[in-house]
Structure 1
Amino acid sequence: MKNSASYQKPDTLKSVWQIINTFIPYVGVWILLVYSLSVSLWLTAFLLIIAAGLLVRLFIIFHDCGHGSFFKSYKANRYIGMLFGILAFTPFDKWHSLHGKHHATVGNLDKRGDGDVWTMTKEEYLASSKKRRLYYRVYRNPVVMFGIGSLYVFLIQNRLTKEWMTQKQKNNVYVTNIALVMLFAGMSVAIGFFTYLILQLIILYLAGMAGLWLFYLQHQYEDVSWVRSDDWNYTKLALEGSSFVKFPKLLQWFSGNIGFHHIHHINARIPNYNLPKCYAENKIFREVKPVTFRSSLKTLRLRLWDEKLQKLIGFQDI
């Protein structure tokens, strides 16, 4: 296996090109969307899907910038990350603070709750009150998690500050919110209040569902491993607690190679465009069983971690 550090050096030309081939098409699709409303609603629907896909890709660039992997320059990572965070309705500092904790605790049963999908153990669930069980069941329902959750996270949760946040993180939330108000006002003047509102909500809803689905699959799948702190090892759990989601080439492009998530957790400083090469050149990464679209659908029934069986199970299994 090659040292993962050999893949983490950002290529400025590749980074700039990725911004060009994502941001410019996103703006272009928005322009086409406005004109398509007077041509065909079928065309509008198609363009909305493309716009949502491009927004997911913009979010991956935002994600890489937060890891400091997209550019060599700290300022370049921060400015591009904050700009794309505004487009994705996500404050840069708040999100990456939680995401950093997620990377430091992935697969650790004793440190759940920071930047991950809420997962109870079978024992915790059985010991909970009826009210808490019901709340957990509602939370883990796919319609709620992906249908309602996509708008809740990006429209409400990302707008709020928390007591644990630093003043810098709180200020970043305020700046992001102000920028979104200005964006809303400017677009309302340009194309109309209700036109912008409806188009933006649909794009955000579709992109949010896709993004949450991707995030869910990264650590909620049939062969995932979770352990207690005494048995936790960063490298081992990066490989065994993070998935390799095998996408067709087109979806791999729109998702910014995030399917190579086991490699990303080994070394978060690897830019997304270097992940396929790292996968191809290292046998250890190719030995990880891929999660396909068909097998991913089965994960929806997996809701609880059974510590005795060492696997995720469904409610029906208890």
Structure 2
Amino acid sequence: MLKKEQLSFKKEIAPYEKSNLKASIWQLVNTLIPLVALWYLAYLSLSVSYFLTIALAICASGFVIRTFIIFHDCCHGSFFKNRTANEIVGTIAGVLTFVPYLQWKATHSIHHATSSNLDKRGIGDVWVMTIEEYISATPWQRLVYRVYRNPFVMFGLGPIFIFLFSYRLNRKEAKRRERINTYITNTAIVVAYGLMCWAIGWQAFLMIQGTMFYVSGALGIWLFYVQHQFEDSYFENEEDWDYVKAAMDGSSYYKLPKILQWLTGNIGFHHVHHFSPRIPNYYLEELHDTKAPLQNVQTITLATSLKSLRFRLWDEQGKRFVSFRDIRHLVIKPAIDLK
């Protein structure tokens, strides 16, 4: 879009940037009540079948993701009009999802301000190396990057490292208020889940909560990963970077089956969200469906999104993601030239 078109379009979508109290409260109800109910049913099923318990816990993990979307909207100040309400609900949702509210709010705002900017990588995003950077890297740096980008590490160990350990620590740049919020979140997690272990036994708790934690964490990382790591994405250096292009071309429309779209709080309309983070999740689909400029974007499905697993490096010349296999000859060539 041209600058004038952008300004005109921003005026068009302005009504969608205001939260609806009834819609927000209803989303809390249809998310938290099923989450608690499924947790309780999973507990009752322990005397029937462990397989049934795991199945119910996996279903509950979908509502953990939906809870995280509420948390996410609170961080953007889009779930409620009132800042304090966003902070209270966001902090509580953060305890349920193991994420400190103010810490994540700070890093995620940086992600939105720098998404797809090659000169401002490293905070709130997935580590991406360009081909040139990878070729110039030391063997050790390449190994670390390959391990990081390995699906078994990113989606297998990632949930444990990020949600259980990384989010328990404050950032070096964190101010006093953010640090206190992290301490409150950590304390609430220890107390709440400690009491649950005492009430039902740590083995039962671990089977139910552990399954929910791991499955929701892995799927959450996948959602964040896949919506920026598609083949013809958008990355530019600072001088050529454009916020609107980063939103429209660097974020995908992840077209999911309706039940998954509902459980993930419409986050598949990621380009709409990046275009205007102030839009509550319950308006994203309507805005996409009624505004033509938002429909001309990269669309991925469950099937096509699996291809993103092989995309590891950004090709600055070709403007696309490539695999390690695609550039193998470039990595080997310098060693041959030296002989």
TM-score (normalised: structure 2): 0.92
Does residue 275 of the first structure (1) align with residue 284 of the second (2)? yes
The one-letter code sitting in structure 2 at the alignment partner of 1:138 is V
Structure 2 unaligned runs (5+)? Answer: 1-8, 328-339
The match for 1:300 among 309, 315, 325 is 309
Q: Let me know the Cα RMSD of the aligned residues.
A: 1.0
User: Which structure ranks higher in relative contact order (CA pairs < 8 Å, sequence separation ≥ 6)?
Assistant: 1
The one-letter code sitting in structure 2 at the alignment partner of 1:54 is F
* Superposed displacement of residue 96, structure 1: 1.0
Map 1:1-318; keep pairs closer than 5 Å: 3-318=12-327
Q: CA offsets, 1:38-94, max 9 Å, x none?
A: 112232122011111000000000000000000111111110000000000000011
Q: Percent identity, aligned pairs only?
A: 48
Structure 2 contact 70–79 (Cα < 8 Å) conserved: yes
The one-letter code sitting in structure 1 at the alignment partner of 2:38 is V
SS in 2 for 1:219: coil
Q: Matched residues in 2 for 1:40 and 1:264: separation?
A: 41
Moved more, 145-154 or 162-171: 162-171
Q: Matched residues in 2 for 1:85 and 1:203: separation?
A: 15
Instruction: State how many pairs are aligned.
Output: 318
* Superposed displacement of residue 299, structure 1: 0.6
Q: CA offsets, 1:253-279, max 9 Å, x none?
A: 110000000000110000000001100
SS in 1 for 2:90: helix
Q: Matched residues in 2 for 1:197 and 1:182: separation?
A: 15
Q: Matched residues in 1 for 2:317 and 2:60: separation?
A: 44
Structure 2 contact 231–321 (Cα < 8 Å) conserved: yes
* Superposed displacement of residue 170, structure 1: 1.2
Q: Matched residues in 2 for 1:123 and 1:308: separation?
A: 10
Q: Matched residues in 1 for 2:54 and 2:101: separation?
A: 30
* Superposed displacement of residue 164, structure 1: 1.5
Structure 1 unaligned runs (5+)? Answer: none
* Superposed displacement of residue 309, structure 1: 1.0
* Superposed displacement of residue 294, structure 1: 1.4
* Superposed displacement of residue 168, structure 1: 1.3
Structure 2 contact 53–208 (Cα < 8 Å) conserved: no
